[in-house]
């Protein structure tokens, strides 16, 4: 009888502690958590920033079959501000630099999966260099659910520039893109991902609502609007898919359990 009582107490304690633990987890995971992926090139080469087509296809397949819903930077901004209810598993798919293969290789795959994406382009390169997008391609993609935002005018290292040049890099790219695209351009990705508080201040001053870095992490209510985290996805010694799962799930679950605090 005593044995049964001890067992019952033990079971009850276990149930109660699990309940408390579950409550703690919910508390930590409260508020939107947004996965922002950062791609560059989608092509079948060994270039360090490129992802083979089949892998990109498998990644989009993984995201859609695991309930991820693609969102735009504007939706992210409204979601973090509490003005919009984000999907349960939001993902913001971003590409930096605006390579020509984004149109030729990534766009058809994105369309097939009904995924939206955002491309940060360098206006001085558009239609100028062969391996970058043209304005015609950009406009066609814009009609097909792709959002275009600024990656500055020339992709210079901003921290090496004087203030007036930082300002013109940020402002001119914004103005040209707005003219070409016929819509407001209010989001920025820092070239090479580097930024500091001073550059962020200028970005805010010239009219950007937020800016993206290459700081590794998942965006949540604790994130700085001018230093948003992203998860880089690139080719690493042929282990792309393993890296992909680890990068998007491993880190996220760590954060959910409060083991990593930014």
Nearer to Zn ion, 80 or 93 (CB): 93
Nearer to Zn ion, 70 or 150 (CB): 150
Asked if residue 255 binds Zn ion (CB under 5 A), the reply is no
Distances (CA, A) of 69 to 65, 140, 232: 10, 22, 18
CB of 123 or CB of 191, closer to Zn ion: 191
- Least Cα distance to 71 among 160, 163, 167, 187 occurs for 187
CA dihedral 112, 115, 116, 121 (to 10 degrees): -70
- Per-residue x/- mask for Zn ion, residues 180 to 199, rule CB under 5 A? -----------x--------
Identified binder of Zn ion from the candidate list 55, 57, 74, 96, rule CB under 5 A: 96
- Residue 97 or 243: which CB sits closer to Zn ion? 97
Nearer to Zn ion, 107 or 212 (CB): 212
The residue among 191, 167, 226 whose CA lies nearest residue 175 is: 167
Smallest distance from Zn ion to CB 252, Å: 25
Radius of gyration of the chain from Cα atoms? 21
- Please say whether the dihedral angle defined by the alpha carbons of residues 177, 182, 184 and 188, taken in this order, is positive or negative: negative
Q: Encoding tokens for residue 46?
A: 């060994």
- Site mask, Zn ion, residues 208-237, x = CB under 5 A? ------------------------------
Question: Distance between CA atoms of 189 and 192, rounded to whole angstroms?
Answer: 9
State which residue, 94 or 252, has the beta carbon closest to Zn ion: 94
**Shortest Cβ 229–Zn ion spacing (Å):** 16
Helices (H) and strands (E) in the chain, counts: 10, 10
- For Zn ion, the binding residue among 57, 97, 101, 137 (CB under 5 A) is 97
The distance of closest approach from Cβ of residue 190 to Zn ion in the complex, given in angstroms and rounded to an integer, is: 8
Of 96, 42, 94, 87, residue with least CA distance to 66: 87
Q: Give the shortest CB-242-to-Zn ion separation in angstroms.
A: 25
Question: Which residues sit at the interface with Zn ion, rule CB under 5 A?
Answer: 96-97, 191
């Amino acid at each position: 009888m005593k044995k049964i009582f001890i067992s019952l107490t033990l079971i009850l304690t276990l149930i109660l502690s699990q309940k408390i633990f579950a409550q703690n987890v919910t508390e930590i995971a409260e508020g939107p958590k947004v996965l922002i992926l950062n791609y560059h090139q989608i092509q079948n080469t060994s270039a360090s920033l490129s992802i083979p087509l089949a892998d990109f296809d498998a990644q989009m397949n993984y995201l859609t079959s695991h309930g991820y819903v693609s969102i735009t930077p504007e939706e992210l901004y409204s979601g973090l501000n509490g003005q919009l209810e984000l999907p349960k598993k939001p993902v913001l798919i971003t590409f930096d630099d605006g390579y020509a293969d984004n149109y030729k290789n990534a766009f058809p795959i994105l369309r097939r999966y009904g995924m939206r994406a955002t491309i940060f382009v360098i206006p001085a390169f558009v239609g100028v260099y062969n391996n970058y997008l043209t304005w015609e391609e950009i406009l066609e993609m814009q009609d097909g659910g792709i959002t275009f935002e600024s990656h500055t005018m020339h992709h210079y290292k901003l921290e090496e520039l004087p203030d007036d040049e930082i300002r013109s890099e940020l402002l001119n790219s914004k103005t040209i893109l707005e003219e070409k695209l016929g819509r407001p351009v209010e989001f920025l990705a820092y070239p090479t991902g580097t930024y500091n508080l001073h550059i962020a201040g200028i970005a805010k001053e010239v009219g950007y609502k937020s800016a993206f870095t290459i700081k590794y992490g998942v965006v949540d209510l604790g994130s700085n609007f001018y230093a948003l985290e992203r998860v880089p996805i690139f080719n690493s010694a042929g282990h792309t898919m393993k890296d992909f799962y680890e990068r998007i799930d491993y880190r996220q679950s760590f954060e959910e359990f409060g083991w990593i605090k930014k």
